Structure 1
Amino acid sequence: MPRPDEITVPTETGPGRLLVSPAVSPSAVLWLGHGAGGGADSRDLVALAAELPRHGVTVVRHEQPWVVAGRRIAPRPAALDAGWLAAEPAVAQLACSAPLVVGGRSAGARVACRTAAAVGAAGVLCLAFPLHPPGRPERSRVDELLTPQVPVLVVQGTRDPFGSADEVRAAADGARMLDVSPVEGADHGLKLARSATLGQDEALALVAAEALRFLRAAAARK
């Protein structure tokens, strides 16, 4: 993958960073946030940044200020939302007239759902949405998942302890604009069980293919 362009984003809590993998003539822009346990180098975010620009999608991976500063513990949701929203003008400039789809993995997906309306997103791509803390299904975050008033795609492992693909589908209860794409044998970090029928590269290719399908649909709606 070519080295991405880097854009520093000033925020009230220090600089954030955008890692931009540009398409030549983008039909859409995908803005992705990372999880609470790591940065923009998670395997699924990297796979999307490597693959989607070849298909006309510019991928923007957003590193929150706490990651840029080298801290290990993510701040509260309100601070995550503020760090994300501070980057919106820069992302909007990158998108220009192309449709903007937001998303991310885990905590980044939660941020994208909460702020989709504020940034004018055409869709939301959730990778490993943390439906509930492990072992605590009663503490559901399904309200966040159902917040966007635009189409949502959830790409979820079938053995994710934060909520399996089946759990997400059941919690959404047939929501009209929400689709769930399962990754067989994958956990929260998209690591596959030894018994999984897919290989790791195949699983990442599936994630990229599902994301591309969703993005093309979003671009067509615009």
Structure 2
Amino acid sequence: MRIETSGGPAEVELDRPGRNKPTFLLVLTHGSGGGVDAKDLLAVRDSAVALGGAVALVTQPYRVAGRRAPGKAEAQDAAWLEIIAALRKKVRGVPVIQGGRSNGARVACRTARAAKVRGVLALSFPLHPPGKPEKSRRDELLAPADIEVIVVNGARDPFGIPDAADATEVHVIAGQAHSYRAGFEDIVAAVTPWLERWSTT
């Protein structure tokens, strides 16, 4: 489906748990130059649907328009909030959680309070630019202080790894860098217990 936003149209793939009413809605998005076909996003989607959730994979407006860079954070965040509002009308009456990988994780953290979501899943959260730990983005990760945030990063991520105190949960996937080439079963094992909380809410 397409959702019109102030930043242009977004594209959304919405998966539901068969004929049953979903118990939660998980909204996920991609990194800066990537897409929603990233294997970690798909692994999380499959786990969430198996637990009874509806999952929306969102291609943000700048990627629909063919750009690799998201542009100004304010405009990106505004469009994201419009997407969440539209999806709430599609899947009503359930807890909403949101997340993404890399830049998508930043958006999910920055907008969590304004979107009034129950939790945030941050995959490969880019704590700082490679080789520049002094330019920390920790304040974005800590922004939704009253919202459950789970972080899953690779142990060899050049963008850094958040500390345990930076989120409700931090999981580190051995041997993996920023873009996962393996370890998807470990990602699912880390995320599934967290998702189960929403499937029984």
Aligned-pair distance for 1:74?
A: 2.1
Counterpart position of 2:168: 178
Identity %: 40
Q: Distance between the aligned counterparts of 1:145 and 1:181, measured in 2?
A: 15
Distance 1:100 1:126 in 2: 15
Structure 2: how far apart are the matches of 1:120 and 1:84? Answer: 13
Deviation at 1:58, TM superposition (A): 1.3
Q: Residues 63-212 of structure 1: matches in 2 within 5 Å? A: 63-148=59-144, 149-164=146-161, 168-169=162-163, 174-175=165-166, 178-191=168-181, 200=182, 203-212=183-192
| In structure 1, C-alpha distance between the alignment counterparts of 2:11 and 2:79, rounded to whole Å | 10
Aligned partners of 2:171 and 2:190 also within 8 Å = yes
| Separation of aligned partners in 1, 2:63 and 2:98 | 19
* Deviation digits for residues 86-124 of structure 1 (CA, Å, limit 9, x no counterpart): 212221123312111111001111111111111111111
Give, in whole Å, the separation in 2 of the partners of 1:211 and 1:29: 15
The one-letter amino acid of 1:208's match is V
Q: Note the alpha carbon deviations across 1:151-208, whole angstroms, 9 max, x for none.
A: 11000100000013xxx11xx5x35x521011101110113xxxxxxxx2xx112212
Letter in 2 for 1:158: A
Which amino acid is 1:181 matched to? H
**Structure 2 portions without partners, runs of 5+:** none
Write out per-residue CA displacement over residues 60-103 of structure 1, whole angstroms, 9 at most, x where no aligned residue.
Answer: 11111111112233212112112211212221123312111111
Does structure 1 retain, via aligned residues, the 8 Å contact 2:101–2:122? yes
Write out the 4+ residue segments of structure 1 that deviate beyond 4 Å after TM superposition: none
State TM-score, norm by structure 1.
Answer: 0.83
Amino acid at match of 2:180: L
User: 2:29 matched to which residue of 1?
Assistant: 33
Contact 1:99 1:219 in 2 (8 A): no
Report the TM-score when normalising by structure 2: 0.91
Distance 2:117 2:29 in 1: 14
SS at match of 1:215: helix
Higher RCO (CA 8 Å, separation ≥ 6 residues):
2
> 1:51 Cα shift?
3.5
In structure 2, C-alpha distance between the alignment counterparts of 1:28 and 1:110, rounded to whole Å: 22
Q: Secondary structure at the match of 1:117?
A: helix
**Secondary structure of 2:27's aligned partner:** strand
Equivalent pair of 2:23/2:94 in contact (CA under 8 Å): yes
**How many angstroms apart in 1 are the aligned matches of 2:11 and 2:87?**
11
- Tell me which of 11, 14, 19 is aligned to 1:20: 14
Cα distance in 2 for partners of 1:50, 1:209 equals 12
